[in-house]
Amino acid sequence: MLEKMSVINLERVIEDFESMTRDAEMVQRETLRKILEENGNAEYLMNLGLGGRTDIQSFKAHIPMVTHGDLEHYIQRITDGDSSPILTGKPITIISLSSGTTQGKPKYVPFNDELIDSTMQIYCTSFAFRNREYPIGCGKALQFVYSSKQFKTKGGLDAGTATTNVFRSSQYKSTMRAMQSQCCSPDEVIFGPDFHQSLYCHLLCGLLFWEEVQFVASTFAHSIVDAFRTFELVMEELCDDIRTGVLSNRIADPSIREAISKLLRPNPQLADLIHEKCSGLINWYGLIPTLFPNAKYIYGIMTGSMEPYLGKLRHYAGDLLLVSADYGSSEGWIGANVNPKLPPEQATFAVLPNIGYFEFIPLKEAGGDVEPAPVDLTEVEVGEEYEIVITNFAGLYRYRLGDVVKVAGFHNSTPELRFICRRNLLLTINIDKNTEKDLQLAVESAAKVLAEEKLEVVDFTSHVDLSTDPGHYVIFWEINGETRDEALKDCCNVLDRSFVDAGYLSSRKVNAIGPLELRVLRRGTFKRILDHYLGLGGAVSQFKTPRCVGPSNNTVLQILCSSVVGSYFSSAF
Ligand code: AMP
């Protein structure tokens, strides 16, 4: 339907959302029935004895909750070319690669047209609510989007990251047009073979269309921060290109060169203007609205592992509004941001009850031997935390996503979720338990000490070092300049003291966990890590810095350890 649409009727989108969320329980029941009807003949469901039943009770009684590991051999058969109904009624022809930052290697998950449909539904829903508050005019979007390399699996299926599969679909283009959100850059830039060349050209295209840019976006906010950090370094070169009408030699890809040559003409006035505007800035504060004065907001996922980039993003944004984007994964979308006025730290996601069947494992009672039974979408309680379990239209049944969310409230009868963190613990040696969120809070506290030195943390990660006795936490920091050893020592002490988990505190006091170590990295280390993930088939659009690097993630650990320029041990305890 969306494909033929030229302009979206936003009021209608909102009405549909309102009516669907009024009886989310019934919509969930119907959605599960539809999924099980379409896929009733799948080997997986048959073997588990579902016998064509489509009701919630039978589904829960026969189908166990699973993780990716449990499904790996089924997915392997699909990627190897077995087109019999294995997980789905209709054969799967496309595979998505999840960003795989947690495990160090991408996971394969089935992808199909229904996932594209739900992606478009999510995009349109949040856009309708956003545009009601902050309408954009006709124009373009400066979107830092990148496709990953696509390849064929052994069985001949197309494989790429979920964002790549979406960007390649015809529906994506038509929906973006209908949402007045067409990218400034030609396709050759988005699908270019080299991320660094694509990034440079996204910036260039944005500058060429500077008056038309209505908003600046990316899938994850990290890409926006990275883009404007790069802008600081290549501004002169971009201005030269615009002044002379000749594209920099750094762009080697012939298809990108040809596509850009159609847009680039000598324009010395524009080059002077950019130069003049930038030279009026103090430390690049407010860069984005200075370059794109007609932009209404900045849009991208800013929650979860993106929160650490908010400070820098706000710096570039000046007084331009930040709107946090929707919540989903390669395994399927979950919720749309229908409260665009909330600041990113408070962003919530209203679950769309027709895009999958959702269950929630209560974490309140977790910790015992028996895991509490999951509750349904409309049974969750405000203020409580849950792990999400997804059943989708692409062959995942009761799949544990591994994300922890908190119920912030309800929109009609569907919950509005706040993303908390990944469920797996990052840092644990004995009785200590620290999550990604705990690490982020510790880094935020210590970064305040660094800010007194007029420096900032560019990016960070962590590692549990068990090669020492006792083992200890290692925090890796890339910072944007040099500073005194005393200041870094202070930062290290603050980091150590900021892990307030009782298990950590007591272990530290009796030296069952050794002093925390802060290792400072050479500039550019996290760029090398990003390049490493891109080499594995990952995409910048889905990149999330791994916040903890385990011993199995050898290459990344080596990159980190070979880039250390200074090491400090805590004396906080
Ligand atoms: P991927 O593996 O690339 O499909 O990434 C999916 C994961 O990214 C999710 O399971 C979440 O952990 C994270 N994620 C996606 N959307 C959001 C969001 N809006 N806020 C926080 N984290 C998110």
517 CA to middle of ligand 1, Å? 29
Strand order in the sheet with 94-97: 108-111, 94-97, 158-161, 151-152
- What mean pLDDT is predicted for residues 11-29? 97
Report which listed range, 8-12, 378-382, 536-540, is most confident.
Answer: 378-382
Q: How many residues does the chain have?
A: 573
**Residue with CA closest to ligand 1 atom 3:** 99
Among 403, 440, 542, the mutation site with the greatest number of ligand 1 atoms within 8 A of its Cβ is 403
Q: What is the pLDDT of residue 173?
A: 87
248-307 pLDDT, tens digit each: 999 999 999 999 999 999 999 999 999 999 999 999 999 999 999 999 999 999 999 899
**Residue with CA closest to ligand 1 atom 19:** 327
**Residue with CA closest to ligand 1 atom 18:** 327
The atom of ligand 1 lying closest to the CA of 301 is 19
CB-ligand 1 contact for 387 (6 Å cutoff): no
Q: What is the pLDDT of residue 30?
A: 98
Alpha helices, H only, 82-221: 113-133, 162-168, 170-178, 187-190, 195-208
351 CA to middle of ligand 1, Å? 14
- What mean pLDDT is predicted for residues 356-378? 88
465 CA to middle of ligand 1, Å? 27
CB-ligand 1 contact for 423 (6 Å cutoff): no
Q: What is the pLDDT of residue 425?
A: 75
SS3 state at 171 = helix
Among 222, 302, 329, the mutation site with the greatest number of ligand 1 atoms within 8 A of its Cβ is 329
327 CA to middle of ligand 1, Å? 6
In the structure encoding, which two tokens stand for residue 376, read together?
């349904």
80 CA to middle of ligand 1, Å? 27
Candidates 569, 541, 63, 45; CA nearest to 325 is 541
Burial 529-559 (b: 16+ CB within 10 A, else e): bbebbbeebbbbbbbbbbbbbeeebeebbeb
- Cα angle 11, 317, 478 (rounded to 5 degrees) comes to 125
Average pLDDT over all residues of the chain: 94
302 CA to middle of ligand 1, Å? 10
Among 218, 222, 327, the mutation site with the greatest number of ligand 1 atoms within 8 A of its Cβ is 327
Q: What is the pLDDT of residue 298?
A: 98
CB-ligand 1 contact for 328 (6 Å cutoff): yes
- What residue type is assigned to position 146 of the chain? Y
Q: What is the pLDDT of residue 6?
A: 67
250 CA to middle of ligand 1, Å? 33
**Residue with CA closest to ligand 1 atom 10:** 329
Of 95-99, 312-316, 327-331, 478-482, give the lowest mean pLDDT range.
95-99
119 CA to middle of ligand 1, Å? 14
**Residue with CA closest to ligand 1 atom 17:** 327
Name 301's Cβ contacts closer than 8 Å, sequence gap at least 6: 219, 220, 221, 324, 325, 326, 327
222-253 pLDDT, tens digit each: 999 999 999 999 999 999 999 999 999 999 99
CB-ligand 1 contact for 304 (6 Å cutoff): yes
Residue 519, H or E segment:
strand 517-521
DSSP state of 462: E
CB-ligand 1 contact for 327 (6 Å cutoff): yes
Does residue 22 or residue 179 have the better pLDDT?
22
CB-ligand 1 contact for 102 (6 Å cutoff): no
152-188 pLDDT, tens digit each: 999 999 998 888 889 888 899 899 888 888 899 999 9
CB-ligand 1 contact for 403 (6 Å cutoff): yes
**Residue with CA closest to ligand 1 atom 9:** 329
CB-ligand 1 contact for 330 (6 Å cutoff): yes
Among 386, 417, 419, the mutation site with the greatest number of ligand 1 atoms within 8 A of its Cβ is 419
CB-ligand 1 contact for 440 (6 Å cutoff): no
CB-ligand 1 contact for 421 (6 Å cutoff): no
